[in-house]
Amino acid sequence: MEQRRVLKTKLIFTFLVVFNASITCTFASDTVSTNQTIRYNETIVSPQETFELGFFRAGKSMNFYVGIWYKKIPNRTVVWVANRNTPLKHTSGELTLTLQGVLIIRDVTKGYIVCSSANSSTTSVKNPIGQLLDTGNFIIYNEGEGINQEDPIWQSFDFMTDTLLPGMKFGWNLVKGIDRNFTSWKSDTNPASGEFTYKIDTRGYPQLILTEGGVIKVRGGPWDGLRFTGISYLKPNPYYNFTFVVNQREIYYQYNLIDTSVLTRLVLVPSGRLERLLWIDNKQEWSLYNSPQRDDCDQYAVCGPFGSCNIDNSPVCSCLKGFEPVSPDQWRDTDWSQGCRHTIPLDCNPGEGFNIYSNLKLPDTRGSWYNQNMTLLECEKMCKSNCSCTAYTTLNISGTGSGCLLWFGALNDIKRFAEEGDTLYIRVSASEIDSIKNRRSSNAGRRIRVIVPVSFVALAILVSLCLFYRSYMKKQQHQGTPEHEREHDPENKSDDEDLELPLLGLSTLVTATNNFSVDNKLGEGGFGPVYKGVLEDGQEIAVKRLAQTSTQGLHEFKNEVISISKLQHRNLVKLLGCCIERAEKMLIYEYMPNKGLDSFIFDRTQSKLLDWPARYRVIIGIARGLLYLHQDSRLRIIHRDLKVSNILLDTDMNPKISDFGMARSFGGNQIEANTNRVVGTYGYMAPEYAGDGTFSIKTDVYSFGVLVLEIVCGEKNRGFTHKEHGNNLIGHAWGLHKEGTSLELVAKCLGESIDAPQVLRSIHVGLLCVQRHPEDRPTMTSVIHMLGGEGPLPSPKEPGFYVGESTQRFYEGSYEASSTNELSVTTLNGR
């Protein structure tokens, strides 16, 4: 039965091919639609005739490939190869696009699939079309929807071969788990994957590395805000500009043409050299513009740990100031592999400090830790407080400098430049500290001592104000809202009966928040900033000002306000009022003096205030609040942006879920929905939501699981790094759970306060919540039962998003696998 269906499809298929071929032999088009077939000698050409896609033969071999090359360059320069490791052996191949948006290279004589692009799991496919753009990108998108370069069905730019073209993103799409790296050809005439790969390594702060068979050969190093620390030649130039982006969704390097008539490419040649080439039209040849591999100091870690390489010296290696060779004899014989060590060994004495070293290529950042928001002073403090921290520096030197980068253990692959280069602060013993630096450190210490008492006074004031404020609000609700404040809004009259909330006037809130001054800003929630306000008689409120660009209409806003105002639960932040006036929409919440849970569990000092029993109460409280949203409230509410900073603590450290700006209510029995706009916070987003935009109560359960692990561990899921693996906190927790050593996860500051069975149970439940498949995750009802109960728990399955993972890749099918063939052909028949 199955066989017959396959056969029938093949016949139709052959017929189509013949039919097509009889009409046209070369496509002048830049597109491939689902009913077209590209065969040997046929190509498609980008609109401005910059690039051409088709079959080509590599050298004199009988290997044939599908690739993209420059149309106008006579000596064919291939920039992309689809089937580099699975060549066709003759000219009877054909390229087709299936109705499912899958690109297939098929050997017609043998009937098998040589290579196919995986379908996308994020975009639903409808009338797919493939188009070759003038950037050299072959992109598959839904014809009716136009080109969406951010999230196409598939694009060749996500699967680079050995060439980085302008506009390509080199690096990571963290949401889809795509690692875009490039690998050399085996030889000039063999596109098969060679030994050399250039990639962005994310084991620590992202850095460029060139590997040979997996071993680092050359390190471009981390981006310092202006350039890659190890690539001194990468400077502003007339041909291209460049940028490096690190955020929660992406980490990538990209260069773009300033003058679009220039042809340039960055290619990893078979010998392992990275070359930036420019096309010289009047000579009709590619010329080498530059290459990061310039001298002996570019070999990875040539001078060993704590050694520094300077090409102007002879020999090139020396120990950093305050360091000496580990093995003086070998060092003299120019065997630098053992490197250097501190002249006076470190012993974690509190007198230890840091010396400044300038004009350096920053050391290997594998295993490093970073934070984009800390100041240099905070960075120093953090490094000093951890004895295994050996060095620190500013993460981003552009502007006034920001962020913090810490190294632990040996510092490898340092190079010294004659000029420019970066600054590094390296830990040394007390007697080695340069005197100028010494003075600055002691000043820093004094400043910090002053801050502590002030914050206590402030806390006391806030607590009393809050108590005062509660009684005010009762009074306020009793009195209702003054008439004159309502008349500004012509639209609200008919809805007034529905709004059980006081409406506050814009002018009242402008005064209360000091005209929404920056100083009053408490933070940025979903859909807008939140300000602290003080009403005329001294009462404090939190005002959330919805961004004017928010697409939410007035009607929807009112609906949301009405539904939220009806939510009453001790673990939810209470909505006190709202303001709808002109283009402004604002929500007024009770003010929580203790701020977010994040300011407790992620802060070294504050975290001590939350011992295990308090944390357990927080976990249970959040679970109850969430259960109320999911089940017990009249509407089924999905929060969609549950995270530590959205959990506020009241004066008794009771958790209250806040920020419903992204929440969606579901009517009746609706269980799942889909959104075109994924909102939320990376690190807390369930895979099905980050990927497909599908959300359900289980999306919140996933975020709850992440929260539990973060509360237990005192570390952020995102930003968590571990020396031995690249997993995030979830992956780390899962690994420890499997080994039965989950208690290692517990935050150090919890010390004696932990109740081991309760901690283990919490971690276990947390892992059940972060399971990859929503159907495996428990509901909040069972979560509460499991947390409080004592019975055995089910074993968690693999979590979602515990490490970069691929959801979309160009894979190469095997020759023999007839099942692959059947599968795809059957799919073709399906329509």
Ligand X SMILES: *[C@@H]1O[C@H](CO)[C@@H](O)[C@H](O)[C@H]1NC(C)=O
Separation CA 243–CA 225 (nearest Å): 9
* Options 201, 641, 659, 700, the catalytic residue: 641
Side chain identity at residue 51, one-letter code: F
Q: In angstroms, give the least distance from the CB of 317 to ligand X.
A: 28
User: Shortest Cβ distance from residue 286 to ligand X (Å)?
Assistant: 8
**Residue labelled with tokens 């607590």:** 463
Q: Based on CB atoms, which residue is closest to ligand X, 187 or 299? A: 187
Segment (H or E) for 773: none
Contact 352, 219 (CB under 8 A): no
Distance CA 301, CA 415 (A): 9
Considering the complex, state which of residue 434 and residue 672 has its C-beta at the smaller distance from ligand X.
672
* Pairwise CA distance, residues 729 & 709, whole Å: 8
To the nearest whole angstrom, how small is the minimum distance from the Cβ of residue 381 to ligand X? 12
Q: How far is the CB of 558 from ligand X (least distance, A)?
A: 29
Nearer to ligand X, 165 or 572 (CB): 165
Cα distance between residue 261 and residue 258, in whole Å = 9
Tell which residue, 29, 139, 196, 159, has the closest CA to residue 82: 159
Q: Which is nearer to ligand X, 256 or 568 (CB)?
A: 256
- Alpha-carbon torsion angle 52, 53, 57, 63, nearest 10: 160
Helices 697-713 and 780-788 sit at what angle, rounded to 10 degrees?
30
**Distance separating alpha carbons of residues 568 and 580, to the nearest angstrom:** 22
Count the Cβ atoms, other than its own, within 10 Å of residue 394. 22
Nearest CB to ligand X, comparing residues 131 and 476: 131
> Residue 180 CB, nearest distance to ligand X (Å)?
7
Q: Name the token pair of 373.
A: 């928001």
Q: Rounded to the nearest whole angstrom, what is the least distance from the CB of residue 783 to ligand X in the complex?
A: 27
Q: How far apart are CA 134 and CA 145, in angstroms?
A: 19
**Smallest distance, Å, CB 454 to ligand X?**
22
Query: Which residue, chain included where needed, has tokens 């998108």?
Result: 141
Beta carbon of residue 331, minimum distance to ligand X (angstroms, whole number)? 29
E strand or H helix at 104, and its extent? Answer: strand 103-107
Active site residue 641: yes
CB within 8 Å of 18: residues ≥ 6 apart = none
CB-count exposure of residue 300 (10 Å: 0-12, 13-18, 19+): middle
Alpha-carbon distance values, 177 to 174, 640, 797, 808 (Å): 5, 21, 20, 8
Contacting positions for ligand X (CB under 6 A):
33, 35, 40-41, 75, 91, 100, 119-121, 124-125, 178-179, 181, 188, 197, 199, 211, 225, 241, 243-244, 246, 256, 258, 284-285, 369, 372-373, 386, 388, 396, 398-399, 402, 408, 806, 809
Tell me how far, at minimum, the Cβ of 467 lies from ligand X, in Å: 30
Q: Is the peptide bond before 315 cis (omega within 30 degrees of 0)?
A: yes
Q: Which amino acid is at 195?
A: E
Q: In what order do the strands lie in the sheet with 414-416?
A: 317-319, 307-309, 414-416, 353-361, 422-428, 389-396, 402-408, 369-371
Q: What span, in angstroms and rounded, lies between the C-alpha atoms of 73 and 77?
A: 7
Q: How far is CA 48 from the centre of its chain?
A: 35
CB proximity list for 666: less than 8 A, separation 6 or greater: 635, 636, 637, 638, 673
CA–CA gap between residue 796 and residue 584 (Å, rounded): 46
Q: Yes or no: say if 306 and 322 are a contact pair by the CB < 8 Å rule.
A: no
Q: Kindly tell me which of 624 and 643 has the beta carbon lying closer to ligand X.
A: 643
Comparison of 46 and 402: residue with beta carbon closer to ligand X: 402
Write out the DSSP string of 14-50.
HHHHHHHHHH-SS---SEEETT-EEETT-EEE-TTS-
DSSP state at residue 397: -
- When the beta carbons of 225 and 529 are compared against ligand X, the nearer one is 225
567 or 685: CB nearest ligand X:
685
* Dihedral sign from CA coordinates of 482, 485, 491, 492: negative
Residue 196 Cβ, how far from ligand X at the closest point, in Å? Answer: 10
CB of 653 to ligand X, least distance (A): 22
Q: What are phi and psi of 510, to 5 degrees?
A: -60, -45
Contact call for residues 504 and 542 (beta carbons, < 8 A): no
Considering the complex, what minimum distance in angstroms separates the CB of residue 678 from ligand X? 16
Handedness of CA 37, 43, 47, 51 (dihedral sign): positive
DSSP one-letter string for 626-653? HHIIIIISSSEEE-S---GGGEEE-TT-
Beta bridge partners of 589: 542, 575
Nearest to 508 by CA among 533, 480, 544: 533
Give the side-chain half-sphere CA count within 13 A for 812: 14
Provide the minimum distance between the beta carbon of 255 and ligand X in the complex, in angstroms, as a whole number: 8
Q: What is the residue type of 605?
A: T
For residues 245 and 251, is the Cβ–Cβ distance under 8 A? yes
Cβ proximity to ligand X: between 483 and 752 the closer is 752
Residues taking part in catalysis: 641
